[in-house]
Chains A and B, each alone.
Chain A
Amino acid sequence: MSSRREVIVASLFARDRASTFGPAVSTLVRGGDFLFVSGLAAVDPDSGERVRGTTASETRQILVNLKQLLEVAGSSLDKVVKVNVLLHSMLEAPNMNDVYARFFREPPPARTVCGARLPDDAKVIIECTALV
């Protein structure tokens, strides 16, 4: 029986791929026609280390990584249908929005933005659903 669910890319990072247990969370999972992308915090794609910066710089780093992840999985930012953005403070929403607008071409995906307590002092976490 063919599965409608497939883990596409466990991680961008060689370190995670080589680890005994692998990353605790699959970064991308395909289900049906959709790709579900885990919430991404800002990490350096070469070292896998968390990058700590402003809301704007963390947003930029996350979206650079997201673009690469989607393309590795055969999708793209243009195929994203819905984005959820979690911010450490809603006062930072315009700082996120300005950077965000440079990544998503017309027409942009549907989106929800809210403020939440984020792990590991992250200022931004972005998750999304895309078409394959």
Chain B
Amino acid sequence: MRKVVAAPLPGLDLRQHYGHHQSPAIRAGGLIFCSGMLPIDPQTGERLHGTLTSEAHVIFANLKLLLESAGSSLDRLVQVHALIYDSIEYDVLNRVYRQYVASGPPARTVWTAQIEAGFKVELDVIAAA
């Protein structure tokens, strides 16, 4: 069984705002697979460029909204891929990251990649449903 998790707020529908051919998240086999999470305004879809820290705060807030709308939560993250624009910011990412996954953190891999629209960070996650 494969079910779409709809955008809980209109801004989180990247397909509507930017034409990305993707669902916000898919629930299947007891897991929730999220599309790459970006720092966008959850109401308007506007891109919120900033520092890696400010972008990560927006992303975690959006991820929380999306997961909770699907009956999951940040505490139920299983795996996180954190894409950052430059590995020099690794410690900066960790500082924000710790605030959201305090105890029993998920499996994680961080690497450097080119992120869409020149963002500094993107999170690609799987959570338990």
Contacts and interface: CB of A to CB of B under 8 A. Distances in A.
Our verdict on whether A and B bind, yes or no, reads yes
A33 interface: yes
B4 interface: yes
Interface residues of B, number: 27
Most B Cβ at <10 Å: residue of A82, A108, A110, A129 = A110
Interface in B1-26: 1-2, 4, 15, 19-26
Given A90-B116, A114-B36, A109 B124 contact: no
Most A Cβ at <10 Å: residue of B26, B83, B116, B124 = B26
Contact of A81 (B21, B24, B33): B33
A97 B19 contact: yes
B24 A110 contact: yes
A86 B71 CA distance: 30
Contact of B21 (A100, A129, A131): A100
A131 B29 contact: yes
A112 B124 contact: yes
Nearest to B126: A82
A110 B33 contact: yes
A89 interface: yes
A119 interface: no
B94 interface: no
A110 B22 contact: yes
Contacts of A113: 20, 36, 116
Interface in B42-66: none
Interface of B: 1-2, 4, 15, 19-26, 28-29, 33-36, 81, 83, 113-116, 122, 124, 126
14 contacts: A34-B28, A34-B29, A81-B2, A81-B28, A107-B26, A108-B22, A109-B22, A109-B26, A109-B33, A110-B33, A112-B81, A113-B36, A114-B113, A131-B28
Interface of A: 32-34, 79, 81-84, 87, 89-90, 93-94, 97, 100-101, 104, 107-116, 129, 131
Given A94-B19, A107-B26, A114-B36, 6 more contacts: A34-B29, A81-B28, A108-B23, A115-B113, A131-B1, A131-B2
